[in-house]
Each structure stands twice: as C-alpha cells, then as structure tokens.
C-alpha cells in the first residue's frame, strides 16, 4: 500500500448490518492506547445496542482506500448534541504510521463541520503516551487544551495521564469541493 499522500480516502457510514465486519476489523488489530486492548463479538454487539457507534448521539465511518479490500480505519464522532462533540479513531495495525490517521481526522472534521453547521468545536482525547495520535491532532490544527493527570483508565493497571485537543470551526480549512 502506498503512503497516505497518494491516497484518496472514502468515508462509508457504518450501519446496523456491519456487526460482523466491525467484529473482524476490531479483532484483527491490537488497541494499545484504548481501555480494551482487544475486543470480541460480545463487546461489539453490546456497543452497537447501546448506540455507541451510531444513533442520535454518534456517527461512525469506515475509512477506506479504493486499493484495499479491508477498511484502513474506523472513525467515530459522538456526543453530537454537546457543545464539543468528540472524535475517536482506530487505525488498523497494518497501516499505522502511513498518514492514514491524519487524512481520517481531516475528513471526519470536515464531515462534522459540514453536516452540523451550528457546531463550532470538535474535540478529542488520547493518552499522554500516544505520541502518534498527539501528532495527528497537531498536524490537523487541533490545539492541546488540557492535560488530565491519572484520568485515562488502563485495564488491569493504574490510570495514566490523558490530553485533550480541540479545533474551532474557524480554525479548520474546509477542503475545496472542486
């Protein structure tokens, strides 16, 4: 697979019928910076039933490249009625470090500001030691607004620090549709 500078990512909305696809995607990679480092079908089904991935307060997208058979990433924007909706991104282990995260965050940000014209901010949190995600936020114009000590739960371990980032609508350069 080429690096992200030559990729044209597509964002396909997740649907209720995507349970098996979601289970396969999430089981295929480890998630070292999420609370659940690995997940199973029961976890996925429970989250879908609770509205975690889509519904009134959340939208999720498969992030695809026309050259790949499987999704490169999964993006989710949630708390849609809040002043600051939040972003969650999971990039498949096989394509990490290739720029997919940056393109995905830019695309998700553009989607939010285009579909929710009254929303003025988008935020996201990550562990303090997730340097790749912190760099993605910075490359996409998000500003670090918070550092919370011992606020990120870690399965079977002590909590670690987390950092919060946000971007304002006026700081985001919407892509030219032409």
- Residues 76-120 pLDDT 10s: 999 999 999 999 999 999 999 999 999 999 999 999 999 999 999
Q: Provide the pLDDT for residue 50.
A: 78
**b or e along 31-42 (b: 16 or more beta carbons within 10 Å of the residue's beta carbon)?**
eebbeeeebeee
In a domain, 149, yes or no: yes
**Whole-model pTM?**
0.89
- The answer as to whether 109 is a domain residue is yes
For 108, the token pair is 């998700």
CB-facing half-sphere around the CA of 93: CA atoms within 13 A: 11
Q: Domain for residue 167, yes or no? A: yes
Residues of the chain with pLDDT under 70: 1-6, 174-178
Task: Please tell me the number of Cα atoms within 13 Å of 20 on its side-chain side.
Answer: 1
Domain annotation covers residue 177: no
Question: Is residue 176 in a domain?
Answer: no
Beta bridge partners of 77: 59, 87
Question: DSSP character for 7?
Answer: -
Q: Is residue 107 part of a domain?
A: yes
Query: Which pLDDT score, from 0 to 100, does residue 53 have?
Result: 86
The answer to the question of residue 100 being in a domain is: yes
For residue 88, give the CATH number of its domain. Answer: 3.40.630.30
Q: Which domain does 41 fall in, by range? A: 4-171
- Which whole-number Å values give the CA distances from 56 to 49, 51, 78, 80, 81, in the listed order? 13, 8, 9, 8, 8
Number of domains in the chain: 1
């Amino acid at each position: 697979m080429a690096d992200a500078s030559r990729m044209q990512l597509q964002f396909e909305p997740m649907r209720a019928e995507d349970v098996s696809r979601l289970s396969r995607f999430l089981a295929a990679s480890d998630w070292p910076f999420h609370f659940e480092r690995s997940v199973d079908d029961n976890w996925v089904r429970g989250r879908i039933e609770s509205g975690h991935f889509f519904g009134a307060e959340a939208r999720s997208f498969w992030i695809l490249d026309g050259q790949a058979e499987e999704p490169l990433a999964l993006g989710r924007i949630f708390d849609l009625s809040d002043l600051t909706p939040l972003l969650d991104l999971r990039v498949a282990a096989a394509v990490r470090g290739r720029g997919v995260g940056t393109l995905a965050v830019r695309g998700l940000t553009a989607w939010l500001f285009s579909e929710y014209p009254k929303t003025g901010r988008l935020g996201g949190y990550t562990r303090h030691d997730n340097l790749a995600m912190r760099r993605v936020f910075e490359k996409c114009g998000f500003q670090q607004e918070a550092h919370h000590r011992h606020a990120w739960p870690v399965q079977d371990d002590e909590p670690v620090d987390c950092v919060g980032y946000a971007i304002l609508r006026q700081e985001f350069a919407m892509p030219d549709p032409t």
